[in-house]
Chains A and B, each alone.
Chain A
Amino acid sequence: MNGIHDMGGMHGMGPIRHEENEPVFHAPWEGRVYAINRAIGAWGKWNIDAGRHGIELLPPADYLRMSYYEKWLARNVELLVQHGLVTRQEMESGKPAPGSPKATPALTPDTARAAAARRGSYMRPDAPAKARFQTGQHVRARNINPVGHTRLPRYARGKAGTIFRHHGIFVFPDTNAHFLGEQPQHLYSVRFGARELWGDGASPHDSVYLDLWDSYLEHA
């Protein structure tokens, strides 16, 4: 979706505020939101792409105003309700509905530590996907404007680049985010010259590399 989250190349967002000796969490509640996110994710009711899309669906004004973990909090409440782990009534009362079954946590302290260290994968090497492109080939990012989730930023659409590296076959977020299957595709690192993206004012020496799925690209 052409949302506020897709902000590469925008102006007017102000100076970058670098904080010396920044704590991991600025307040205890931020750590709790982070941990709740990981713990409820372990139920496997949604996936990382659906989670990202949940943030993208926040109203643009809220997206800009809310802090990172406030966005996570709002998104998590929504995912919990949509996927039936809690009801709106329970969210409002703060109490479990009478007679609702008590679950057993998917994450215990030991499994939580193990989950933090587990090496999962979004790669699907055995999926029956064909690679339409190879390293060194000239390509163009397609001009697409899907209303759902996509990882092709607006600033690269319609622009010409070169396949820099082939990463392998990966879960396709545009379908996975909407529970339409993983539909794995080949993924490439594509190099775009800064002048191709931003015009003659950009440095001729610079470039931006994006990781793009096969169906985002066409032959140039």
Chain B
Amino acid sequence: MTDDKTPVDRRAFLKGAATGAVAAAVPTPMHAQDHEHEHQVVPSDPALRTKALESLLVEKGLVDPAALDALVDTYENKIGPRNGARVVARAWVDPAYKERLLHDGGAAIAELSYQGAQGEHMVVVENRPKVHNLVVCTLCSCYPWPVLGLPPVWYKSAPYRSRAVIDPRGVLREFGLNLAEDVEVRVWDSTAEIRYLVLPERPAGTEHMTEEELAALVTRDAMVGVARVAPPPGGKA
């Protein structure tokens, strides 16, 4: 792909980022003449800029504020790592479900009604005594929203994205997980629309727990692969 085929070049984009994002909340007469300059995006209060953008879009009829409320509520309260935890717990107690989950993650997850944006094509990878899986998106921050919710800041951060592929064992150590040298580490870089969920190992001492109790043990970090599921407090580890 060459420059002239790229409809959005950096110069055009910069112009927009500078004028649009800033001027939305900080209208000054100067900006009208300022279009042609590639100035830095001046850090201004993103809350104000967001508010200005939202009220413009609402006034133009392009967004419905109640729809925005519904989206925020959905991702704050309804879609989150509890969903993925239920998938994991089901796989731990039901071998047939686990087989379906590893064979066609999307269909098995949909059995529990978890589906939607950024979960269109799910692959589940299983941790075993000698295999540890770790999920990253080095190019942006792809993450399986329907089962884990929106990603935490560290997952989206430059330190994690840069190091997970070159130094996965160091990253895991930083999360408190020291893997033996003979454990195989598989890092999954989410470069396409395939989204990955780690099926962690079921901890010892959980043989008598119900599916619901098991789900309560499963953490987001374990399903990204930066942690193991800890045994229950008081359980025999």
Contacts and interface: CB of A to CB of B under 8 A. Distances in A.
A48 B1 CA distance: 19
Contact of B181 (A11, A93, A198, A205): A205
Contacts, number: 347
A82 interface: yes
A23 to B, nearest CB: 8
B60 A206 contact: no
Contacts of A146: 1
A20 B147 CA distance: 19
B71 A112 contact: yes
A63 to B, nearest CB: 9
Contacts of B164: 8
Contacts of B64: 39, 105, 107-109, 112
B122 to A, nearest CB: 10
Most chain A CB neighbours (cut-off 10 Å) among B23, B136, B146: B23
A104 B57 CA distance: 11
Interface residues of A, number: 119
Contacts of B191: 151-153, 210-212
Contacts of B160: 16
B62 A7 contact: no
B140 to A, nearest CB: 6
A36 to B, nearest CB: 6
A119 B110 CA distance: 9
Nearest to A10: B162
A116 B79 contact: yes
Contacts of B190: 211
A14 B10 CA distance: 28
A182 interface: no
Interface string B16-59: 11011101110100011001000011010011011111111101
Given A18-B175, A208-B189, A74 B166 contact: no
Given A78-B20, A107-B63, A122-B193, A117 B140 contact: no
Nearest to B75: A24
B165 A155 contact: yes
Interface string A205-220: 1111111110000000
Interface string A159-172: 00000000100110
Interface of B: 1-3, 5-8, 10, 12-14, 16-17, 19-21, 23-25, 27, 31-32, 35, 40-41, 43, 46-47, 49-57, 59-64, 66-72, 74-76, 79-80, 106, 110, 115-117, 119-121, 123, 136, 138-141, 146, 149-150, 152-154, 156-166, 168-169, 171, 174-175, 181-194
16 contacts: A7-B138, A38-B117, A40-B57, A48-B193, A52-B140, A61-B40, A85-B62, A86-B56, A105-B64, A107-B63, A107-B71, A112-B68, A112-B71, A119-B115, A119-B120, A206-B184
Given A189-B123, A209-B187, 19 more contacts: A17-B154, A26-B153, A33-B46, A39-B62, A39-B68, A52-B140, A57-B13, A59-B14, A68-B156, A73-B50, A82-B8, A86-B57, A110-B70, A115-B116, A118-B117, A120-B120, A203-B169, A208-B188, A210-B189
